[in-house]
Chain A
Amino acid sequence: MNTFEFLLQGLLIAAQPMNLLYALIGVTLGTAVGVLPGIGPALTVALLLPVTYQLDPAGSLIMFAGIYYGGMYGGSTTSILLNTPGESASIVTALEGNKMARAGRGGPALATAAIGSFVAGLIATLGLAFIAPYIVKMALIFGPREYFALMVLAFVTVSSAFGDSTLRGLTSLFVGLALAMIGIDQLSGQARLSFGIPDLLDGIEVTTLAVAMFAIGESLYIAAQGDRGPDKIEAVRGSVWMSATDWARSWKPWLRGTAIGFPIGAMPAGGAEIGTFLSYAAEKRLTKHPEEFGNGAIEGVAGPEAANNASAAGTLVPLLTLGLPTTATAAIMLAGFQQYGLQPGPLLFATNPQLVWGLIASLLIANLMLLVLNLPLIGLWVKLLSIPKPWLYAGIMLFATLGTIGANPSVFELGMLLAFGLLGYAMRVFGYPIAPVVVGLILGPLAEQQLRRALSISQGDLTTLVASPVALVLLLIAAAALIVPLILRARGRGQVLSQLAASED
């Protein structure tokens, strides 16, 4: 049988009514749990995996796929509506998405996220099916120096999430980088900035920081506005649906997001959030509506959401073809696959094609189910905003702490949640952007470790950093991204830049 026949057969099995029902249940459960701040896809899958064990292999595989996609999509819903991203990959979504929601455009924001996720999931899953072996070869070219160059590029592009002040953006970023230094240095085993406190040895959990700075910081800030803020946000202004303009402005970001997210997800040390940062930066550069960025630009939701989903499918490339679990979610999925007798590795496609294609078909069906379930629900989700504030925010606080307690029920962790919540509040008051702190915490250690690994392997030879063509090209792009706008701005020719950007697409 060839690839197509396997896929077709898988689809036929997955499309049986009973299996469709399992997919629907999986997507519903995944969305319901994933929607809680602090519970990202990894924890969602870990929590719900046992539910699937009761079913036959095909049914459990398809329900599992549903949970996975549901958990991922659930995170973006709360990011958009409540500005409370519970995991790193949906932080960027909150930047523009929440601004849209506040302007009564939550419906279109959720719709572009859902459809973008679907489009990206579809393309990336097909990519997984047909070009996985090639993608993985490319991913293996990436060694420490190439990753270091990629991190440099990510750092440069992050500046687009800085907001209106370079000083405050940079300060936020460096606060994040300083926090990233806390804990045991992975390469030398020495404890840094832990002050003898054992709870700090593992460093600061990204989800704890994200939940505290966004969910708790936001709640505190809203509370401190007292009666001045509007009692209820106007949930829907205009249509709850995407308008023709929204469609026209969304489809290119979906495709670009997919193109950025899929290969980055496939890289063993990539991670979904880096794809979302790069996609956001790209959309901000390419948009014809630069004035809307920061005030609710639909491109800033469409691109990163697509990138997020595409990179999730990308993560499956090394997992299935090499048996490499490259994210926490993938590690839990690997444990799940083993329950179904699926042993990921280089021989998987050859020895166990039925299961692999069954999984890929399940992913496609689950992806479709997600859309089927969520598009009609958008009207309902948006209504979340019309819950009276005391109850809405009391609920947010309950679920925000639930995620943290569930992962690690320690008083110290809750103390950190409180401390960072206050930090998030203070930063909002003084006009500091929040996202760069979390970005610094994620990218800082990655960049440092990859740099030190590269130098260690070359025994201290600095030229190794530019000795590979891939690394050199990435560094040159980073340098261009940094220098060109500076020069253009210095000459007062920002116009030229936007024209250049406009003519590029």
Chain B
Amino acid sequence: MKQFFLASILAGAIALPAFAADYKIIAPANPGGGWDQTARTLQTVMQSEGISGNVQVVNVPGAGGTIGLAQFASQDKGNPNALIVGGYVMVGAILTNKSPVTLKDVTPIARLTGEYEAIVVPASSPFQTFGDLVEALKKDPGAVSWAGGSAGGTDHITVGLIAKEAGVDPKKINYIAYSGGGEALAAILGAQVSAGISGYGEFESQVKAGTLRLLAVSSEERIEGVDAPTIKESGLDVVVENWRMVAAAPGLTDEQKAAVSADVEKLVKSAAWQEQLKTKGWQDTYLSGAAFDEQLAKDVSATEGILKEIGLVE
């Protein structure tokens, strides 16, 4: 019996390289969340498009994705078949959690999807335009309470940037952090807070039903089919996109990196991926290569600056 097991262990060790062509995707979050869904959608499409025969998704949740990132950077170093899903939230989490591993320690491949921030007020609110809200903020920052996601997340950062651009000390904003989108939305609908901020998708159905008033979105230009001005139009230079990306392991050769990039490009261009984006309501904001690296660097420095000003990072 013992020999059988020894033999099987040995055989297993030998058999291992035979599976090396298959991708492994780390979802640095719990099953069910946004990153997990992205990873599992990648898995489905990669398999159905024949990009990879067998894709495994591994959940490594915790601390805004930084635990998964750290594990990925150390354990999968040089592995050309390992990918990790991540996003803008990671940029902030790396800073607030003082994570020793940053996005510089992995090989970002491409931005896949993204969502813009939306600022809403309950239908009964006295604020008719974004300008009204900013005026109130300037007059008494404490009197304007904002409901959004966790402290130091995309929503918080956006409010900080708005305050800074409006000439208000970002430390003075009265930001009320909620854990899930649902709880924050309930607080906004119940007019417990002055305004709410989150990804547009969270508010879409309420805005269409007229129970929330959409004041502004954080995109560069107006979004098609969304009846609201950008924050930029009101004179505040704030553009924030909550994107999701896929990155490869550190220590890859240029050829290996190119091979992964080609696989990801093939995936993004496939009809199956476009179909998935449509059913899930995700925007296609594919960006790769040097353009993505440049945008990433810009986001990291802007985020670091504003987190310091809000007082979340020393």
A: residues with CB less than 8 A from B are 42-43, 46-47, 139-144, 184-189, 191, 198-199, 201-202, 268-269, 318, 322-326, 328, 330-332, 335, 338-339, 343-348, 407-410, 453, 456-457, 459
Contact = CB atoms under 8 A, between A and B. Distances in A.
11 contacts: A139-B186, A143-B190, A184-B96, A185-B151, A198-B97, A268-B183, A326-B182, A330-B182, A345-B208, A346-B205, A410-B60
Contacts of A347: 205, 208-209
B312 interface: yes
Nearest to B59: A408
A345 B185 CA distance: 12
A13 to B, nearest CB: 23
Contacts of A47: 31
B252 interface: no
B182 A457 contact: no
Contact of B206 (A187, A322, A410): A322
Given A189-B151, A268-B187, A409-B58, 4 more contacts: A189-B156, A202-B61, A347-B208, A457-B192
Contacts of A201: 62-63, 66-67, 97
A444 to B, nearest CB: 14
Contact of A338 (B176, B180, B279): B279
B197 interface: no
A139 B97 CA distance: 35
Contacts of A139: 186
Contacts of B281: 338
B192 A143 contact: yes
A326 B180 contact: yes
Most buried by B among A42, A43, A268, A335: A268
B143 interface: yes
Nearest to A141: B190
Contacts of A343: 205
A459 B143 contact: yes
Nearest to B208: A347
Most buried by A among B31, B33, B61: B31
Contacts of B67: 198-199, 201, 410
Contacts of B208: 345, 347
B176 to A, nearest CB: 5
Nearest to A454: B192
Most buried by A among B97, B152, B177: B177
Most buried by A among B31, B58, B62, B150: B62
Interface in B14-60: 30-33, 37, 58-60
Given A338-B279, A345-B206, A407 B31 contact: yes
A268 B183 CA distance: 6
Given A335-B32, A345-B206, A269 B66 contact: no
Contacts of B152: 189
B129 interface: no
Contacts of A457: 145, 174, 176, 192-193
Nearest to B153: A189
Given A141-B190, A143-B190, A344-B205, A188 B151 contact: yes
Contacts of A43: 31
A266 B312 CA distance: 34
Given A191-B97, A268-B186, A326-B182, A408 B209 contact: no
Contacts of B70: 198
A407 to B, nearest CB: 7
B62 A198 contact: yes
Nearest first, the 9 closest Cβ-Cβ pairs linking A and B are: A345-B205, A189-B151, A268-B186, A143-B192, A346-B209, A324-B182, A140-B190, A201-B63, A189-B152
Given A198-B66, A202-B61, A328 B177 contact: no
Contacts of A328: 32
Interface string B268-290: 00000000000111000000000
Interface string B173-211: 010110111110111011011000000000011101101
Given A189-B96, A268-B183, A202 B189 contact: no
A456 B61 contact: no
B99 interface: yes
Nearest to A188: B151
Contact of B63 (A144, A198, A339, A345): A198
A335 B38 CA distance: 12
A453 B193 CA distance: 10
Nearest to A187: B177
B202 to A, nearest CB: 8
A203 to B, nearest CB: 10
A269 B63 CA distance: 22
Given A187-B177, A323-B206, A326-B183, A459 B142 contact: yes
A409 to B, nearest CB: 7
B62 A322 contact: no
Nearest to B150: A186
Contacts of B142: 459
A483 B79 CA distance: 64
B225 to A, nearest CB: 15
Given A143-B192, A198-B66, A343-B205, A322 B185 contact: yes
Nearest to B37: A335
B74 to A, nearest CB: 12
Given A201-B62, A330-B182, A345-B209, A338 B280 contact: yes
B287 to A, nearest CB: 25
A411 B280 CA distance: 34
B60 A408 contact: yes
Contacts of A339: 279
Contacts of B179: 186
A27 B228 CA distance: 45
A198 B100 CA distance: 10
Contacts of A344: 205
Contact of A189 (B150, B189, B205, B209): B150
Contact of A325 (B61, B180, B189, B204): B180
Nearest to B211: A346
A144 B192 contact: yes
Most buried by A among B60, B145, B176: B176
A143 B33 CA distance: 26
Contacts of A345: 204-206, 208-209
A43 B59 CA distance: 13
Contacts of B32: 42, 46, 328, 331-332, 335
A201 B97 CA distance: 8
B180 A459 contact: no
Contacts of A456: 145, 174, 176
A407 B67 CA distance: 14
B186 A322 contact: yes
Most buried by B among A185, A199, A201, A338: A201
Given A187-B177, A325-B181, A347-B208, A199 B186 contact: no
Interface in B159-177: 174, 176-177
Contacts of A140: 186, 189-190
Most buried by B among A139, A324, A410: A324
Contacts of A188: 151
